[in-house]
Structure 1
Amino acid sequence: MDNFKNKIALITGGASGIGEIMARLLMERDATVIIWDINEENSEKVRLKYSSLGKLTVMKVDVSNSSEIKNAASQVLSDFGGIDVLINNAGIIVGTYFHEHSKVDIANTMNINVNAPILITHAFIDTMLSKNSGHICNISSSGGLLSNPKMSVYVASKWSLIGFSDSLRLEMEQLNKNIKVTTIMPYYINTGMFEGVKSKIPILDPEATALTIIKSIAKEKKMVSIPGYIYRVTRFAQAILPVSIFDWFTGNVLGIYKTMDHFKGRKN
């Protein structure tokens, strides 16, 4: 997909953070954009801010609720006949030790971070298959590659999303379908979601990260870590080092196991 002109793109969590930026970037590239977000106030701000750029539809959807996903997907299929690009971007993090999570915390994290992308993809995949075209981009995390304290449930959700996303890619290739799947694995991004995180590795700029994702979709890349070395270094080190040495290097040298010590997160 070398350009997005006249393509219909759906972005979950598109009313803030990199979701909002990706919506703007796609509209600047002449795509029709549909935003799903639970925050009506932010969605309306985005609509007023970017509607002059082109075609933009905002919908209030709680992606943790399977019934809302089903109803919203039915509306999109009815109004637009399908979508060309799906960006599963919505995500949450609790940011505390596992025993301090409530059952609601656990359910919401898994529902939003992994169940929602699976269900949303399932809602649109048949139309993509019938047209034999489409692109699905799942925003996972470098946390899907690396264990980290105070992120246990978040990490579980992102590991799951990577597994689902890349397996789906292989299925489409095995079936000889022209449906591309891109899995994105960014490091911490400087948005409200990770407010308070301290890191020796530079925290990512939202604008640059969003642009990298849009370019990755255009180039039909399969798996993308941001920065690019994260995937290679992590996988190589995990393969050759004993767990105790890997933990020492990751925790003491890189300081990653302490990055969440001062986590505050996004204020609702």
Structure 2
Amino acid sequence: MNELKGKVAVITGGASGIGLATVEAFLAKGCKVVLSDYDVESGEKQVDRLKDKGEVVFIKADVSKEDEVESLIKQTVEKFGSIDVIFNNAGIGAQGETHDLTYEDYSKVIKINQDGVFFGSKYAVREMRKNGGGVVVNCASILGIVGEPTAFAYNASKGAVVLMTKSLALQYAKDNIRCAAVAPGYVETGMVNREALGEYYDNLVDKHPIGRLGQPEEIAHTVVFIAENEFLTGITIPVDGGYTSQ
């Protein structure tokens, strides 16, 4: 098992939801954690809240911009001396009819969900090769495994993440760098809850045989598991309450 205590972990999209739960999970393992997000106010607020739980800092980054992701990794190394784990988590959703989808809206989803994984992996791997290894964890989705009629851009981006993960795992195994992905089902967050969604909430629950939506902590637990298990690479783990088993 890969001992995480003292290791350096970077979490993008870390100010809320799955990302924030993962920040807390790595802190609980004794990691030094970089909470990164494009939302400076929320990111700094969460770091202030968590400062008594371990060594955690905020670094702003918009993952759709290569220079900002490069700077994120550079600042991480300057602060902590290395990077051992990156969780490429930042992402956005999009729903709508494909024939009404603008290229601008399509491109926004691809830039954040797909290019963000590319940029994060690219610059983290450069440092991990210097350090003798590391772990790249990508946030895919159930919609990277199965289709949904109104999620064309999101399906495209998350399907790409699944295969990007395999490619990275194969390419860098020789460098002691592992890469795997987590594919969450629908997870309770600030935007996905009964109050926000009304009757549609029950429709989402019905899609999960286990009878409920996921919790951010359940996804975070899987990210930590990937980071710890040294014989695990190249796969995408659905954490979806049975959604993709149907």
Is the shorter-chain TM-score for this pair beyond 0.5, marking a shared fold? yes
Q: CA shift at 1:228, angstroms? A: 7.3
> What CA distance in whole angstroms lies between the structure 1 residues aligned with 2:163 and 2:8?
26
SS at match of 1:180: strand
TM normalised by structure 2 equals: 0.87
- 1:209 pairs, out of 209, 219, 228, with 219
1:103 Cα offset (Å): 2.8
Q: CA deviation at 1:183?
A: 1.2
Letter in 2 for 1:178: N
| Aligned mates of 2:165, 2:10 — CA distance in 1 | 17
Specify the SS of the correspondent of 1:192.
coil
Deviation at 1:99, TM superposition (A): 3.0
Question: Does residue 74 of the first structure (1) align with residue 84 of the second (2)?
Answer: no
Question: For 1:51 and 1:136, how far apart are their aligned partners in 2?
Answer: 25
Poorly superposed stretches of 4+, deviation over 6 Å:
none
Q: What is the rounded CA distance, in whole Å, between the counterparts of 2:154 and 2:92 in structure 1?
A: 8
Cα distance in 2 for partners of 1:163, 1:181 equals 11
Looking at structure 2, the residues matched to 39 and 85 of structure 1 have their Cα atoms a distance apart, in angstroms, of 22
Letter in 2 for 1:37: D
Does 1:167 pair with 2:167?
Answer: yes
Q: How does 1:1-268 map to 2 (within 5 A)?
A: 1-173=1-173, 176-194=174-192, 196=197, 197=201, 198-199=203-204, 200=206, 201=208, 202-220=212-230, 221-222=232-233, 223=235, 224-227=237-240, 233=245
Measured in 2, the distance between the counterparts of 1:98 and 1:111 equals 18
Cα distance in structure 1, aligned partners of 2:217 and 2:92:
20
CA distance in 2, matches of 1:129, 1:60: 24
Structure 1 letter corresponding to 2:220: A
Structure 1 gaps, min length 5: 235-268
- Determine helix, strand or coil for the equivalent of 1:209: helix
CA contact (8 A) 1:36 1:58 kept: yes
Q: How far 1:35 moved relative to its partner?
A: 1.2
Equivalents in 2 of 1:188, 1:3: separation in Å? 30
One-letter identity of the residue aligned with 1:226: V
Larger-Rg structure: 1
> Which whole-Å CA distance do the structure 1 matches of 2:191 and 2:73 have between them?
26
Deviation at 1:98, TM superposition (A): 2.0
RMSD: 1.9
Displacement of 1:132 in angstroms is 1.8
**What is the one-letter code of the residue matched to 1:158?**
K
- Could you list the runs of 5+ residues in structure 2 that have no partner in the other structure? none
Contact 2:182 2:222 in 1 (8 A): no
Deviation at 1:229, TM superposition (A): 5.2
Amino acid at match of 2:184: P
- Given that residues 86 and 136 in structure 1 are in contact (C-alpha distance below 8 angstroms), is that contact kept between their aligned partners in structure 2? yes
Question: 1: CA distance between counterparts of 2:172 and 2:82?
Answer: 18
**Sequence identity (%):** 28
| Paired amino acid for 2:177 | I
Partner secondary structure for residue 6 of structure 1: coil
Report the more deviating stretch, 215-224 or 181-190. Answer: 215-224
The answer to whether the Cα contact below 8 Å between 1:92 and 1:193 also exists between their aligned partners in 2 is no
Q: How many residues align?
A: 231
CA distance in structure 2 between the aligned counterparts of 1:137 and 1:55, rounded to whole angstroms: 21
TM-score (norm. length: structure 1):
0.80
* Post-superposition offset of 1:179: 1.0
- Distance in 2, matches of 1:61 and 1:113, equals 14
Q: Is the 8 A contact 1:82 1:124 kept in 2?
A: no
SS in 2 for 1:91: coil
- Residue 32 of structure 1: how far off its partner (Å): 0.3
User: C-alpha distance in 1, partners of 2:108/2:192?
Assistant: 17
